[in-house]
Structure 1
Amino acid sequence: MDVISLGETMVLFNPHSTGKMRYCQDFSTKVAGAESNTLIGLSKLGYQTGWISRVGKDELGARILSTLKGEGVDVSFVIRDEESPTGLFLKEKTNERQTKVFYYRKESAASFMSEGDINEEYLSSAKYLYITGITPALSSSCYDSVFHSIKIAKKHGLKVVFDPNLRKTLWGEHEARETLIDVAKEADIILPGISEGEFLFGEQTPEEICSQFHQLGVETVVVKLGEKGAYYSSEGEASYIEGYPVHKVVDPIGAGDGFAAGFLSGLLDHVPLQEAVKRGCAIGAIVVTVEGDIEGLPDKEELYHFMNTITSEDVTR
């Protein structure tokens, strides 16, 4: 196994029309979850990935498992909970400029994930543990599960990769800041955005954000800068990587998850850090041109074609 992650994946109901939800009669459904998005991205690139979680023993849970299995993600350690439902969320495209999201995840199956759900033998088979800041916010047992998985990873020599993925609606700012910093202290590699660095440390430049994380003991920091690319810092090596311009952003959701997949693929291939960050930037750019979190994730041939052919003359920002 190359990468294992744990977290919640839900089913998204997306309206076919614009306006308040009460007037929407038709919805399409998609599977969405930060961690599973990244695992699917890696699977499409040819790597072995595994997901640890809980889903309800219901049709939404079956949909999630079917989707992840179909995308090549191992779900053999996902528990089907007979007591709690699978989480879901709905989008409301109020008008052309405003989209609202309504979550129905309280007491969902995934929120009852516990330390006992983390199989040590299974987790120890991986090279990387990938976690986000969403999972510890779901419940106290999810919080414990995250730190338990980190403890196992360190025991068996796995590298811990952490995307803070701040969700302010899930918890209070003080608790969020304290927890995300505690997780960061245990991480080998961290992938924050500028806004997350500002939230955690009050810093606004990539250099300052990296410095703060290095002081916590993080070995490698990659600050995502959206369309501008990324800035990385590791063991005395630091540089800006220019982003890949896109003509039209169709759907920005999932870009960070795609970035993580591209970056992790570089680490797994043992390419220079600069090249790994470039892969992350490339997949982030590809993903935003397609509606949906996972629909635009490329295979390796598509990724290399994109990286080798796109220029500033092909598309404009």
Structure 2
Amino acid sequence: MVSMRADGLLRLGTTARVSVAGAESTVAVGLSRLGHRVRWVGRVGRDEPGELVLRTLRAEEVDVSRVREDDDAPTGIVLFEQRLPDVTRVQYYRAGSAGSRLAPADVTTAIEAGTRLVHLSGITPALSPTAREAVTAACDHAAEHDVAVCLDVNFRSRLWSADEAADVLTPLARRARVVVGSPDELALVGGVEDLLRHGVAEVVTKHGAEGAAVTTENGTLDAPAHRVPVVDSVGAGDAFTAGYLSGWLDGVGLAERLDRGTACGAFAVATRGDWEGLPTRAELDLVGSAGTALR
């Protein structure tokens, strides 16, 4: 989507900063900055907002060759309003958008030989029946080609009810190798122990400012969050996911995966915007260097 971040109250009229937002695109940018080859799959309108989305992702070295430009539907928009210093009000305008028209054919051809991981968000199947079919098709195609799947539950109450989400996302979560979510989100798809019983290898719990944990058949490992001044909390969870999956792709241990995830989350909350402040691999160690001038 295109994002508009208001500088003041929308009801009074204000200026706004235009950029790009979206859970999956934030993960894609985060992984790309950490040195991984990434492809983002979706639909945008054949319009100027769509051009901004594609241009931004190309600039971040994310492959958009399989993105479909829709002639008949607009690119979605999201509005951010900083109502209080630590409270952001978000309004979505994507009903009938190009992204909501995602279909199975849009995603299956993007999973090629050599693909190691398919990252899915619980937001996508909430957008429309065809988007729901597309996510299921991606899982099917990944399974046929022995490609690992990561599902971030990412429950959005403005898109559907908890009961609807549970009915759709629980079967998807049980098919994933890695499932990510807050405690409430993981409970929505059966809980940590149930997911492990159904074959999920790693269940990652995001605790926000308190850090994160990963549970496998061997037990649970916890990691604290890095303490940094919070400028904007939007996108922190997706930044964490990007860092964690970067460690997964690199084959490092669980502790290092969590540490990389919390480092990315710290960079995200310390800067305004969903993805703009995400680190490169060379910058990961800067977390904890408060008050230092790099000369």
TM-score range, shorter chain: over 0.9
2:218 matched to which residue of 1? 236
Following superposition, the deviation at residue 95 of structure 1 comes to 5.2
1:287-302 paired onto structure 2 within 5 Å = 287-302=268-283
SS at match of 2:42: strand
TM-score (norm 2): 0.93
| Contact 1:120 1:152 (C-alpha < 8 Å) held by counterparts | no
The residue identity in structure 2 corresponding to 1:16 is D
The separation in 1 between residues aligned to 2:121 and 2:205, in whole angstroms, is 15
Aligned with residue 36 of structure 1, among 20, 25, 31: 25
| Contact 2:86 2:232 (C-alpha < 8 Å) held by counterparts | no
1:161-240 paired onto structure 2 within 5 Å = 161-201=150-190, 209-240=191-222
1:284 matched to which residue of 2? 265
1:147 paired to 2:136: yes
1:3 matched to which residue of 2? none
| Contact 1:184 1:216 (C-alpha < 8 Å) held by counterparts | no
SS at match of 2:181: coil
The separation in 2 between residues aligned to 1:229 and 1:94, in whole angstroms, is 25
Q: Deviations over 1:266-312 (max 9, x none)?
A: 11111112211111111111210101011110001101332xx559x
Q: Which runs of 4+ in 1 moved over 4 A?
A: 94-98
The separation in 2 between residues aligned to 1:164 and 1:117, in whole angstroms, is 21
SS at match of 1:60: helix
The separation in 2 between residues aligned to 1:277 and 1:116, in whole angstroms, is 34
1:7 matched to which residue of 2? none
The residue identity in structure 1 corresponding to 2:194 is Q
The separation in 1 between residues aligned to 2:88 and 2:44, in whole angstroms, is 27
1:14 paired to 2:19: no
The residue identity in structure 2 corresponding to 1:12 is S
The separation in 2 between residues aligned to 1:173 and 1:265, in whole angstroms, is 30
1:137 paired to 2:118: no
2:53 matched to which residue of 1? 64
Following superposition, the deviation at residue 123 of structure 1 comes to 3.7
| Contact 1:15 1:24 (C-alpha < 8 Å) held by counterparts | no
The residue identity in structure 1 corresponding to 2:210 is K
The separation in 1 between residues aligned to 2:176 and 2:125, in whole angstroms, is 14
Following superposition, the deviation at residue 194 of structure 1 comes to 1.5
> CA, structure 1 residues 167+106, in 2 after alignment: closer, same or farther (shift >3 Å)?
same
SS at match of 1:170: coil
Q: Structure 1 regions of 5+ residues with no counterpart?
A: 1-9, 202-208
Following superposition, the deviation at residue 237 of structure 1 comes to 4.0
2:255 matched to which residue of 1? 274
> CA, structure 1 residues 24+98, in 2 after alignment: closer, same or farther (shift >3 Å)?
farther
| Residue identity (%) | 37
The residue identity in structure 1 corresponding to 2:103 is S
1:245 paired to 2:264: no
